[in-house]
Amino acid sequence: MLIDRQNMPRWLIITIDVVIVFFAVILAYLIRFNFEIPDYELKPLPWILLIMLSVRLISFLIGKTHFGILRYTSTQDIVRLIIVMIIGSVIFVSVDIVTYFFFGNIFFIPFSIIIIEFLLSFFGAAAVRLIAKVTYLELSGPSGRRSKVIIFGAGEAGILTKRVLERDAGSKLKVLAFLDDDPRKAGKKLEGTEIIPTGNLDGLLAKNHVEQVIISVQNLKQSRKQEIIESCIRYDVKVMNVPPIVQWINGELSFNQIKKINIEDLLGREVIKLEEKSLHRELNGKTVLITGASGSIGSELFRQLARFKPGKLLLLDQSETPLFHLELECLEKFPDLNYEIIVADICNEMRMRKVFNTFNPEIIYHAAAYKHVPMMENNPTEAIHTNVEGTRILADLAVEFGLKKFIMISTDKAVKPTNVMGASKRIAEIYVQSLSNGKTSFITTRFGNVLGSNGSVIPLFRQQIENGGPVTITHPEITRYFMTIPEACQLVLEAGAMGKGGEIYIFDMGDSVKIVDLARKMIKLSGLELGKDIQIKYIGLRPGEKLYEELLNDKENTLPTHHPQIMIARVEEYERKYVEKVINELIALYLKQDNFKIVKRMKEILPEFKSKNSVYEQLDAAEDVENT
C-alpha cells in the first residue's frame, strides 16, 4: 500500500490539496445558495475558481505544507496548514476590499464563500493527513499487530513521548494507556489515549501483554520510580526512561534517546541536596587538587567541583590514558575551566613536593588508592605502598605547605577489616586523623560499594549478561551496601564543607542489598529469563571477602549533622607519636617485600583485623594460640 510502504510524493500531496480546494469552492457556493446557484454568480465563478486555486497553490508551495510525511503528521504540521490557509483567506478578503473600492462597491468573492471554503479546505486537507496517519498505524507491524506500551506520566513529556513513538517508523509500538499519579486526570483521554491511575498498573500488566513501560516524568521521586520498576519486574515487562530535557538533541526528543532503565536507577536514593552557598564559599577561587582524578570517583568529583568555579583544578593521576580522556572532556564540557593535567605517582615524594611547590593547592580531595580486595590480598606490599605511604606523603605535605583542608576517601571495608585492602585504608584513616590538631583540617569519608565504579559488581554483571552469561556470584548470601557515583561525590563535597578536622563521615546507605537479588533484577531488566536465557553461577568467596559489610565498628557510634543522610562516626583515637612510630615501621617493611611480615604488622596495629578466606588466616590462628 502506498501509505504504508513508501512516502507519498510531494507533487501528489499538493495535487490532492488543490483538488480539495476546488471541491471546497464548489461546495461552498452550493451551500451558500442552497444548492441553486443563480446565473449572476455562475458567470464569475470560473475566474473566482482560478484566483482561489492559484492563491492556495502558491501559499501551499511557500508554506511547504506538502513537505511533511503524511504517516508522521504532527500537531506542528496541522498548525502550519491552518496558518497557510488563514493567510490565503486574508488575501481573498484583500481582493474583495480592492474590488469594493475600485469596481463599484461589489465584493468579487462573497465573504460567506471565503469562510465556508476555508473551513471545508482546512478540514479536508487535515482529514487526508490524519486518515493516512491512522491507516499507517493500523497496518504497521507484523500482521498489523504492534507491541503494547504504557507511558507513565500524562504531562508534556508524556505527550511528546507518545508522538515520538507514533512518528518513528521502526518503533512498531502502540500506546495502550497513560498512567499518572494525579487523580484529577484519571478517566480522561490524552490524544485519544486513556489516562489511568497508577494504582491500576499491576492490573494492566496482568491483563495485557505489555511489552514496555516508559517513564516520562522528569522529576520523579526515586522511591516512586523503584515501585514502578519493581511492578514491571514482577511481570517481566521492560522499563524504559525518557532522558532529562537538557539531554534532548536540539531541544527535541528522539526515539533512540529513550533508553532502558539501569540497575543504578533501582538502587539509587533521592538526590542529596547540597549546601550550595557554603560550597561556593569553600571552593570558589581556590586551587583544588584531586588525586586519582581519572578514576570513577575522581572524575565525578572534577565534574561536580567545576560548577563551583574553583580558581584552578589540579587533576592528578598516574594513569596516562584515562587522564588523556579526562582532558578531552575538560575541553569539550568546561572550556572556561582553569585546570592542569598532572601525571604523577602519589608515592613519589619528590614529584609530589614539586607539584605542591609549583601549584600551591589549598584543598585536596584524595581519591587515589588501590581498591580491589582480591588484588590487594595477593599484593599487600602495594596496598601499603599506595594506600598508606602515598596517603602519608600527601598528608605530610599538606601540613608542611599549610593547606586548608585534606579530604580523604575511605571505604566501609576499613570497618572490622577482613582483608588487606580494608586494613590498609583503616591505617591510612588513623594516620590522617592523628594530624588533625594543626592548621590543616583532615576529614575522612567512608563509602559503601559505588555503583558503576571501576571494580563495582555492576559493570561485571552487565558485561556477563551481554556475553550470554553465566553471571558469577561468590556466595548466595553475600550482601553489600550501594550508592551511586554522584551520591558518593556529593558526600565528599558536603563533608569537605562542613568538616572542622578529625571527623570520619559516613552515609545513611539504607538497607544492604543481596547480590543474588541484584543479579536477578539486572537479568530481568535486560529482558532475559533466568534459567532459560542465562544462568547464575556461584564461584565461592574471593580472598579477603566477607559476607556482610559494616560502616561502623562495635565500639563506634554516630553523631548527627545538619544533613539527615550524613553522620559523624565516633572512632577510637590514637596518640600522634604512636601512630607515627607504627606507620614508619610498617612502611619500612615494604623494602623487604615479605607479605606475611607486612600483614602480621598490620594485624598488630589493628587487633580487629581478622582475615577471611585468605592465606593470612594462619596468622590469626597463631595469635590465638599465643594468647591462650
Which range among 65-69, 85-89, 276-280, 443-447 has the greatest average pLDDT? 443-447
Which residue did the predictor score with more confidence, 469 or 408? 408
Whether 116 and 55 have beta carbons less than 8 Å apart is answered as no
- Higher-pLDDT residue of 351 and 181 is 351
Residue 150, beta-bridge partner list: 177, 213
Tens of pLDDT, residue by residue over 132-187, are: 766 665 555 444 456 788 888 887 777 777 777 776 644 577 788 888 888 888 87
The catalytic residue positions are 413
**199 contact partners, CB below 8 Å, separation of at least 6:** none
Instruction: Measure the CA–CA gap between 410 and 571, rounded to whole angstroms.
Output: 14
Predicted pLDDT at 88: 79
Provide the CA 3 distance to its chain's centre, in angstroms.
38
Q: Which residues are CB-contacts of 21 (< 8 A; sequence separation ≥ 6)?
A: 52, 53, 56, 117, 121
- Supply 518's cell numbers: 541484584
Nearest to 510 by CA among 303, 226, 286: 226
Q: Where in the chain is the domain with CATH 3.40.50.720?
A: 142-261, 276-450+482-509+550-605
Q: Which three cell numbers stand for residue 149?
A: 506500551
Q: What is the pLDDT of residues 381-398, one digit of tens each?
A: 999 999 999 999 999 999
CA distance to 146, 237, 251, 318, per residue, from 210 (Å): 10, 7, 29, 50
Residues contacting residue 126 through CB under 8 Å, at least 6 positions apart? 78, 81
Segment 426-438 mean pLDDT: 89
466-486 pLDDT tens trace = 888 888 988 888 888 777 787
Neighbours of 225 (CB within 10 A): 19
For residue 142, the model assigns a pLDDT of: 46
Polymer length of the chain: 628
Residue 4 has pLDDT above 60, yes or no: no
* 295-298-301-305 Cα dihedral, nearest 10 degrees: -120
**Burial per residue of 392-401, b for 16 or more beta-carbon CB atoms within 10 angstroms, e otherwise:** bbbbebbeee
CATH top-level class for 142-261? Answer: alpha beta
Q: Do residues 312 and 287 make contact, with C-beta atoms less than 8 angstroms apart?
A: yes
Burial of residue 476 (number of CB atoms within 10 Å: 0-12, 13-18, 19+): exposed
Cβ atoms 261, 240 nearer than 8 A: yes
Average pLDDT of every residue of the chain:
81
Q: What is the pLDDT of residue 5?
A: 43
339 pLDDT above the threshold of 90? yes
- Checking if the pLDDT of 425 tops 90, the result is yes
Residue 95: how many other CB atoms lie within 10 Å:
18
Q: Could you give the CA distance from residue 340 to residue 326 in angstroms, rounded to a whole number? A: 11
CB 355 within 8 A of CB 343: no
CB 414 within 8 A of CB 446: yes
What pTM did the predictor assign? 0.69
Strand partners, 214: 151, 240
pLDDT digit string (tens) for 83-137? 888 887 888 778 777 776 666 566 677 778 788 888 888 887 877 777 776 666 5
Superfamily of domain 276-450+482-509+550-605 in CATH is NAD(P)-binding Rossmann-like Domain (3.40.50.720)
What pLDDT score does 325 carry? 93
